[in-house]
Amino acid sequence: MQLATLFRRVALVAVAFSVGSAVNAQNIIYAGPDGAPIEGERCATPAISPQQQAAVDAFLENFLAENPGTQNRDGFYLIPIAYHIVRYDNGTTGEVSDADIEEQTDVLTAAFAFMDIVFETASIDRTDNTTWAQAQPGSSAELEMKAALAIDPASTLNFYTTVPSGGLLGWAYFPDSCESCTYHGVVCLYSTLPNGTAVPYNLGDTGTHEVGHFVGLYHTFQNGCTPPGDSVDDTNYEAIPFFGCGARETCGSPDPIENFMDYTDDACMFEFTPGQQERAYVQMAAFRPTMWIKVPVELVSFNATLNGNAATFEWVTSSETNNSGFEVQMLPDGRSEYQLLGFVEGHGTTTEVQHYTYSVVGLNSGTHMFRLKQIDFDGGLEYSQEIEVTVGVPGTHVLEAAYPNPFNPEATFRFGVNTQQNVRAELVDVLGRVVNTLFEGNVAADEMQTVRIDGSGLPSGTYMIRIVGETFVDAQSVTLLK
Ligand SMILES: [Zn+2]
């Protein structure tokens, strides 16, 4: 804590000297791995000129006019991160543990929760190359490193941790350029990650700040007190970067020193604004559309367990957005339309894994199909894969009731056997005469047969369906009512 305070004071002194020179005089002092102070720069993201900013703003305005609603929050976005740990040739300088990388992902997710953006660690690789580790923004070493290490920049945030020369804490590139260029991504001094040594910049918010640039946000002090500032309406103008912690007023209103896009110490920056969220959304939709995909309701499994004539369905989602719930539907053997069995409530929007179960008892013999119909709160829906459940024939055989009964002139009934055999089914009148042979054939075990009764040539009356197999005889009565 004392160390942090010390470095904050030093940083304030540093900025005091820099006032009056260029706005991007960004000298800071932070702790090196051995505790000795290092002088460096807070952020080396290439500056954007007023002309470039005006061009981007005009483009975004047109894009928003053509894609209304792009700025609105209406679901979660998931950004996978490929971490590239680039160390010195000695294999130790610049090392970051997997646990600290995971914490960096958590810091980003916490910071961007305000924007409903979730991050996940997709991959981690380590490379020993002192030249690459020391690369500065725009250098050939940087381009060479990224060309070698970048993983699918259109769909993945490539996050490099290095040991940049000049004491740089990090940099990024704005999205308004080719979507799949390998130079995209963020570079951070390895010791700025959570649990790193770069006090007071070691809580992972160098990553937050640089990812802020990655999604299209400028510094809060962009253009100083002059419109359009950072092109966001609800961040106050700010003449120069703020270092340390505290409060200040440089353009007639409180400086947005708690904003992630200022130069404040990690411990004192914790805010994005609604205006920044909207600007980030439109930029991502316009410039990084491949990456900008809403988290769907992602069903990772759907299984059934059968116990006699009872079935239990279990399914798991890895994430959900706006999920009202699931209809469990069944297509009974011999039928042509799915029926609703029941409804299971969803979890709305979540990136946590969710488990669901649903049970049904008293299933008839036969092969039934089941599926889930996932329904969004706004009415959107999606069907799962179908799964097949075969309920075997208990005992020697099954003879299901004819339907409809009474009938005119047609009805159907189903039967099944538990061992393969020849079966004959007949329609018999009250005098015991066979008036129709309804079925004759060899029937496989557990395969339900649907049999049609045609009474169009028969008088009204009560009839018997008689079914004779090799292992059983059974019968049921039906009434033809004309
Ligand atoms: Zn920056």
Residues 128 and 255 in one domain: yes
Residues 73 and 213 in one domain: yes
Q: For residue 169, how far is its CA from the centre of ligand 1 (angstroms)?
A: 10
Q: For residue 209, how far is its CA from the centre of ligand 1 (angstroms)?
A: 6
CATH number at residue 379: 2.60.40.10
Question: 61-99 burial by CB neighbour count: b if 16+ within 10 A, else e?
Answer: eeebeeeeebbeeeebbbbbbbbbbbbbeeeeebebeee
- What backbone phi and psi angles, to 5 degrees, belong to 210? -70, -35
Let me know if residue 12 belongs to a domain: no
pLDDT along the chain (482 residues), means of 10: 31 32 62 93 93 96 96 85 98 97 94 89 96 97 98 97 96 92 97 97 98 98 96 96 95 97 96 97 96 80 89 89 91 90 90 90 92 87 88 91 94 94 96 94 93 94 96 95 92
Indicate whether this model's pTM tops 0.85: no
Residues 367 and 407 in one domain: no
Q: For residue 205, how far is its CA from the centre of ligand 1 (angstroms)?
A: 11
Residues 327 and 202 in one domain: no
267 neighbors 279 (Cβ within 8 angstroms): no
- Is 210 annotated as catalytic? yes
Q: For residue 222, how far is its CA from the centre of ligand 1 (angstroms)?
A: 10
Residues 282 and 356 in one domain: no
Residues 152 and 58 in one domain: yes
Residues 183 and 59 in one domain: yes
> How many C-beta atoms surround the C-beta of residue 459 within 10 A?
9
CATH number at residue 163: 3.40.390.10
- Domain span at 325: 298-391
Residues in the chain: 482
For the packed helices 50-66 and 274-287, what is the interaxial angle rounded to 10 degrees? 80
pLDDT of residue 26: 59
Distance CA 105, CA 208 (A): 10
Let me know if residue 31 belongs to a domain: no
Let me know if residue 462 belongs to a domain: yes
- If one counts the domains in the chain, the total is 3
Q: For residue 266, how far is its CA from the centre of ligand 1 (angstroms)?
A: 13
Residues 177 and 48 in one domain: yes
Distance CA 154, CA 287 (A): 10
219-162-155-261 Cα dihedral, nearest 10 degrees: -10
Residues 448 and 476 in one domain: yes
Residues 317 and 403 in one domain: no
Fill in the amino acid letter for 174. Answer: F
Q: For residue 448, how far is its CA from the centre of ligand 1 (angstroms)?
A: 69
Fill in the amino acid letter for 38. Answer: I
pLDDT of residue 116: 86
Residues 339 and 455 in one domain: no
134 neighbors 163 (Cβ within 8 angstroms): yes
Residues 6+ apart with CB under 8 A from 138: 46
Residues 47 and 126 in one domain: yes
pLDDT of residue 22: 36
Tokens representing 166 are: 């000049």
pLDDT of residue 20: 31
279 neighbors 261 (Cβ within 8 angstroms): no
At 276, is the secondary structure helix, strand, or coil? helix
Distance CA 159, CA 172 (A): 9
Looking at 391, 409, 425, the residue that finishes a domain is: 391
The H or E element that residue 130 is part of is: helix 130-133
From the candidates 142, 210, 327, 426, give the one annotated as an active-site residue: 210
Looking at 374, 391, 408, the residue that finishes a domain is: 391
Q: For residue 318, how far is its CA from the centre of ligand 1 (angstroms)?
A: 33
Let me know if residue 346 belongs to a domain: yes
Q: For residue 167, how far is its CA from the centre of ligand 1 (angstroms)?
A: 14
Where do runs of H (alpha helix) occur along 19-126? 50-66, 98-112
Q: Is the dihedral of CA 392, 398, 399, 400 positive or negative?
A: negative
The predicted-structure confidence for 116-158, as pLDDT tens digits, reads as follows 888 889 999 999 999 999 999 999 999 999 999 999 999 999 9
CATH number at residue 429: 2.60.40.2950
pLDDT of residue 6: 31
Tokens representing 365 are: 């013999």
